[in-house]
Amino acid sequence: MSAVPQPTISLPTPNLNSTPTPTTLLKTLSSSHSLAHFKQVHAHILRSTHSPSHSLILKLLSSPSLPYSLSIFSHLPHPLPSLSTPFLRHLSRSSRPEFAFFVYQRLRNEGMPIDRFAFPPLLKAASRVGWLAEGKEIHGFGFKSGFHSDPFVQTGLMVMYVGCGRLPEARLVFDKMSYRDIVAWRIMIDGYCQSELFDDALELFEEMKRANIEADKFVLSSILSACGRAGNLDCGKAIHDYIIQKELVIDAHLRCALVTMYASCGCIDMAQQLYDQMIPKNVVVSTAMVSGYSRHGRVKDARLIFDQMVEKDLVSWSAMISGYAESDQPQEALRLFNELQILGIRPDQVTMLSVISACANLGVLDKAKWIHVYADKNGFGGSLRINNALIDMYAKCGSLERARNVFEKMTSRNVISWTSMINAFAIHGDANNALRYFQKMKEACVEPNGVTFVGVLYACSHAGLVEEGRKIFASMINEHNITPKHEHYGCMVDLFGRANLLREAVEIVETMPFAPNVVIWGSLMSACQIHGETELGEFTAKRVLELEPDHDGALVLLSNIYAKERKWKNVGDLRQLMKERGICKERGCSRIELNDEVHEFLVADWNHKQAYEIYEKLNEVVSRLKLDGYAPNTGCVLVDLEEEEKREVVLWHSEKLALCYGLINGAKDSCIRIVKNLRVCEDCHTFLKLVSKVYRREIVVRDRTRFHHYRDGVCSCRDYW
């Protein structure tokens, strides 16, 4: 110990003329919180002629500075377990648990005794820093030392293996235990829950009950969490019944777990009932309710709880922002994000992913650029997940070039990165680049997954590349051993249907290894609508309605088929049925962003403050286009109206109104970007092409399924959409 530097400052004592006694020194250390004070006491101990007591050394080892404590320990001659084991325990709980291994190494190198109580803190330290190799070495040493059957050591081993993500090894230790207390069961169940192996957690809980082990509130909370995250409501209810049957006290912790489970499983009314009984309501349980309501489309209820929360942390803000983003209310999500910034709360990666998703759904490029700059400035630029989301965002906001720039600058890419880029090309109708990047992905030895193939097949479908689509579908099965799912067969039906190969599309439906779902019948139904196949269209629409009786698209298609055949009675019956069921055709809605503000238009919309100017501009545009041969195509207006009324209906489509607003207010040479919720109709498609030519403006429209880039009278889709 003489090698430790001695402080020059003397220790203040009540009586400056007397030498501090060991008892005084111990009391002084106990009340000291600064390193300088510890050093003063240490100096007095070194000057003393008496050997320091065991209690005094232990106090010194708990100094405010871990390196200083290690320095003291390194100068102790032959420390016995009575000193080394408490010190290991202290280090394993500290901010630098890895320091425990320096102590362990010294004990091993100098052949000093290590008792069985030293193993749990060492294994805990390995768990906290994720040092599997060191944990295994300690496991081996414990086995050689004869401690492998000790319950303390076995529990420590389980903690270590669970902490390092090695569940099979943890289970092996667990299965070999001769006696398992509630702590051992809890560690193993928690491990399964943390690794999202919820079925294993539930199975182990059943085994625990068979072993007549009484579950405590911590085990029950973990199991309820597993039920919620797995969506297993039946099991969650059984746990609730178990709690009632055993007459366990439902404290705040357990009630919170029950609320979260019911909310996650969609049993919102039960969750609300339990939530109402909680006084006070903590931020965790309130956030669970916000997430539960949001997940099941009840965003207004979620916002009500959010607004009533006395305290909100970042998780609760993120839950509400995510709720808006996933409920097709992207503007509300971005509005809430602005509030978060005003409060000075720094977002985390989860928040940013929700914000980027909201921006992608909104489809406004200026906002997307701002979000990208914000992400880079706040340290998210290097995140793989953030960059993958940015690719998707830029693609959905109409900038394929910016999406590609993000992709090319990434230092590392995974299957999601490549798939996002392929999907970006696909929705923009650039099938050649989608196929080229698919090839580059394979050359980079990144194995495509099922989602990748959906993107590639989608690209082929929207570009009419039938033969390429056939080959890719076959390679998915034969080369990559991926079993096609509904979405892959749906892409093939869409591929053949768009190409007017309806017989082959029907063959796909008939030969699938499972029953076609609504999406597949819907793809075939749309193809029939595009190519005017009324008989097959009627058949497919009825198949859709068998699976989803309130499917508005199928009901509208049937109505349209009857309207084309002038069967107005049938049309009336269908419209009456839709009215009685409260089903209505989704109204066309178009958005345009100008001057950092998003403007929305519906069909024949007069609500905008510039409505009069917009309709004046529309009349002017129509007059100019007529000189270029434009005539309104009223074929898509399938209601019993006079021809002049039909012309008015088709001219007042929402994208035409948004376009005219852009022509009035946008810079003369700027690109006009429009986002529409439905498929662009034939008349609007022709109209937009002609405007791009006559007014010499680039126009980008995102409809329900893809992008259309209009320039010089030509569309990027080559009139194949």
One domain for residues 462 and 489: no
Say how far apart CA 236 and CA 227 lie, in whole Å.
5
Region of 394 please: left (phi>0), alpha (psi -120 to 50) or beta: alpha
Task: Say yes or no to pLDDT of 471 above 60.
Answer: yes
One domain for residues 593 and 708: yes
Say how far apart CA 147 and CA 250 lie, in whole Å.
39
Say how far apart CA 704 and CA 693 lie, in whole Å.
24
CA 409 from centroid of its chain's CA atoms: 23
Residue where a domain terminates, one of 585, 608, 639:
585
pTM of this structure: 0.75
Assign 479 to helix, strand or coil.
coil
Least confident range from 41-55, 283-297, 337-351, 690-704: namely 41-55
CB 425, CB 394: distance < 8 Å: no
Place 623 in a pLDDT band, splitting at 50, 70 and 90: very high
Beta bridge partners of 597: 594
**CATH assignment of the domain containing 512:** 1.25.40.10
As a three-state string, the secondary structure of 352-382 is: HHHHHHHHHHHCCHHHHHHHHHHHHHCCCCC
Position 628 in a domain: yes
Closest C-alpha among 567, 559, 557, 550 to residue 527: 557
Task: Give me 199's structure tokens.
Answer: 């079925």
One domain for residues 488 and 442: no
Say how far apart CA 204 and CA 187 lie, in whole Å.
11
In the chain, helix, strand, coil percent, each to 5?
65, 5, 30
Tell the residue number behind the tokens 């209601």, with chain if given: 639
What pLDDT, on a 0 to 100 scale, did the predictor assign at position 293?
Answer: 93
The helix (H) or strand (E) run that includes residue 708 is: strand 707-711
Place 646 in a pLDDT band, splitting at 50, 70 and 90: low
One domain for residues 462 and 495: no
Position 463 in a domain: yes
CB 587, CB 603: distance < 8 Å: yes
Position 448 in a domain: yes
Say how far apart CA 423 and CA 398 lie, in whole Å.
13
Residue where a domain terminates, one of 556, 585, 614:
585
What pLDDT, on a 0 to 100 scale, did the predictor assign at position 705?
Answer: 87
CA 225 from centroid of its chain's CA atoms: 18
Place 110 in a pLDDT band, splitting at 50, 70 and 90: confident
Place 494 in a pLDDT band, splitting at 50, 70 and 90: very high
Residue where a domain terminates, one of 443, 466, 481:
481
Beta bridge partners of 672: 699
CB 380, CB 349: distance < 8 Å: yes
Backbone φ and ψ for 62, nearest 5 degrees, come out as -100, 35
Position 133 in a domain: no
Positive or negative, the Cα torsion across 688, 496, 397, 434?
Answer: negative
Model confidence pLDDT, tens digit, residues 38-84: 677 777 666 665 667 777 777 777 777 788 788 888 878 888 888 89
Alpha helices for 231-348 (secondary structure H): 233-245, 252-264, 268-276, 283-295, 299-308, 314-326, 330-342
One domain for residues 601 and 692: yes
For helices 81-92 and 119-129, what crossing angle results, to 10°? 20
Contacts of 333 (CB under 8 A, 6+ apart): 321, 322, 324, 325, 354, 355, 358
Alpha helices for 130-197 (secondary structure H): 132-144, 151-163, 167-176, 182-194
Positive or negative, the Cα torsion across 698, 701, 702, 708?
Answer: negative
One domain for residues 627 and 688: yes
CB 199, CB 230: distance < 8 Å: yes
Say how far apart CA 309 and CA 284 lie, in whole Å.
11
What pLDDT, on a 0 to 100 scale, did the predictor assign at position 49?
Answer: 59
The helix (H) or strand (E) run that includes residue 461 is: helix 450-463
Tell me which amino acid residue 649 is. V
Task: Say yes or no to pLDDT of 428 above 80.
Answer: yes
Positive or negative, the Cα torsion across 439, 496, 527, 632?
Answer: positive
CB atoms within 10 A of CB 313: 13
One domain for residues 650 and 561: no
What pLDDT, on a 0 to 100 scale, did the predictor assign at position 562?
Answer: 82
Position 137 in a domain: no
One domain for residues 594 and 698: yes
* Number of domains into which the chain is organized: 3
CB 563, CB 571: distance < 8 Å: yes
- Cα end-to-end span (Å), the chain: 83
Collect contacts of 164-173 with beta carbons under 8 A, ≥24 apart.
164/126, 164/127, 164/130, 164/131, 164/132, 164/135, 165/130, 165/195, 166/132, 167/191, 167/192, 167/195, 167/197, 167/200
CB atoms within 10 A of CB 379: 11
Strands 672-676 and 597-602: unpaired
Model confidence pLDDT, tens digit, residues 365-420: 999 999 999 999 999 988 999 999 999 999 999 999 999 999 999 999 999 999 99
Tell the residue number behind the tokens 């090698």, with chain if given: 3
Tell the residue number behind the tokens 């090319």, with chain if given: 408
Average pLDDT, the chain: 88
One domain for residues 473 and 511: no
One domain for residues 505 and 575: yes
One domain for residues 631 and 617: yes
Model confidence pLDDT, tens digit, residues 187-203: 999 999 888 888 898 89
Boundaries of domain holding 597? 589-715
Position 674 in a domain: yes
Say how far apart CA 716 and CA 429 lie, in whole Å.
7
Strands 589-594 and 672-676: antiparallel
What pLDDT, on a 0 to 100 scale, did the predictor assign at position 425?
Answer: 97
One domain for residues 706 and 606: yes
Position 297 in a domain: no
